[in-house]
Amino acid sequence: MSPAAATASVCIVTYNSASDIQRCIQAVLQQSHPVAGIVVVDNASTDNTCDIVRGFQESTVRLVANRDNVGFAAGQNQAIRQTDSDYVLVLNPDVELGTDYIACIVEFMEQHPEVGSVTGQLVLAARPDIMDSAGINMGGTRRAWDLGGGEPAAQWEESRYIFGVSGAASVYRRRMVEDISMDGQFYDESYFAYKEDVDVAWRAQLLGWKSYYLAEAKALHERGWKYEGRRSRKQIPLFLRRHSYQNRIFTIIKNEPAGWKMFLSIPRLIGLEFVQVGYILLLEQGLLRCWATILRRMPELLRQRSALWRRIAERKGKT
């Protein structure tokens, strides 16, 4: 298939996104690569987000208005299921794509069938010379972070393979979406928000798919608390901070490869968690409830882990 013939859809989840969604959709409609459809799933916004989306007369823009806030993961799954394109762009409403964002990425992916996901160069909207993200990296402590975040954009003009892509503005190959979905879910809906993209990235890598950072694809990202210091973290609702913390633990339990390397890393990981718990006891006691949730979900997490590693073993057996 030629890049021009490949189809791409855009999936956006909104929640009180009135200040951003119009610019976001307009940028998508101006893409040089034709967009098969734009699905906006709104998670019970209380502002006029839905009215703004309904204002677009283009037949390619479809609104799904949820009565309840089901979270980013479930909302994106909902949107993805309403598409049938070769590629799906998972997009945050506060991202403004460059005109050739989709075209650059689809052309690259058509030439590299082993690549299941690609992200472009996201810079801060308020400081376009500063990187927001070049994808996700994962360290030995199993903490994921945005590649290039806060660094000069000039240092990120070279494309490269990466651990994974973030959910801000990433293109996924349909075949990969279908291949790595578990229990009918691409993103694990129990995550609600945060780290669901890390879970997908790790699972995809384990199942043999590659991720790539394509510097030629450009986008602006309105980033809030992340680069504004510790004080802003307190402004994030405790409910979301709990998800961010516990979802990291979920991701490790589900995806950490077994073997001697895991046993060597366990003491270090446990030590770091004791340090983290100490921090929580001092400054964020409200996060302690996460451990009740983690323990309650342990049987399900282990079941998911077992299912994933059976799939990996079967795949290795066929090669």
pLDDT tens, residue by residue, 121-173: 999 999 999 999 999 998 777 788 899 999 999 999 999 999 999 989 999 99
Q: How does residue 229 score in pLDDT terms, banded at 50, 70 and 90?
A: very low
Q: How does residue 224 score in pLDDT terms, banded at 50, 70 and 90?
A: low
What per-residue confidence (pLDDT) applies to 86?
97
What per-residue confidence (pLDDT) applies to 119?
98
* Residue-range domains of the chain with CATH: 8-227 (3.90.550.10), 230-318 (no CATH)
Q: Is the pLDDT of residue 45 over 70?
A: yes
Gap between the Cα atoms of 134 and 166, Å rounded: 8
pLDDT, tens only, 251-302: 999 998 876 455 555 555 555 655 555 545 545 556 667 778 889 999 999 9
* Angle between helix 196-206 and 290-318 (nearest 10): 20
Q: How does residue 231 score in pLDDT terms, banded at 50, 70 and 90?
A: very low
Residue indicated by tokens 């979802």: 247
Gap between the Cα atoms of 172 and 167, Å rounded: 10
Q: Which amino acid belongs to residue 84?
A: D
For residue 103, the number of C-alpha atoms closer than 13 Å in the C-beta half-sphere is 11
What per-residue confidence (pLDDT) applies to 80?
98
Residue indicated by tokens 């052309």: 107
pLDDT, tens only, 92-110: 999 999 999 999 999 999 9
Q: Is the pLDDT of residue 112 over 90?
A: yes
Of the two residues 304 and 59, the one the predictor is more confident about is: 304
- In 132-259, where does DSSP find H-type helix? 174-180, 196-206, 230-233, 238-255
pTM: 0.89
CA 244 vs CA 71, 99, 135, 274, 296: distances in Å: 13, 32, 18, 17, 17
Q: How does residue 225 score in pLDDT terms, banded at 50, 70 and 90?
A: very low
What per-residue confidence (pLDDT) applies to 291?
77
Q: How does residue 59 score in pLDDT terms, banded at 50, 70 and 90?
A: confident
What per-residue confidence (pLDDT) applies to 234?
55
pLDDT averaged over the chain? 88
Q: How does residue 230 score in pLDDT terms, banded at 50, 70 and 90?
A: very low
Length in residues, the chain: 319
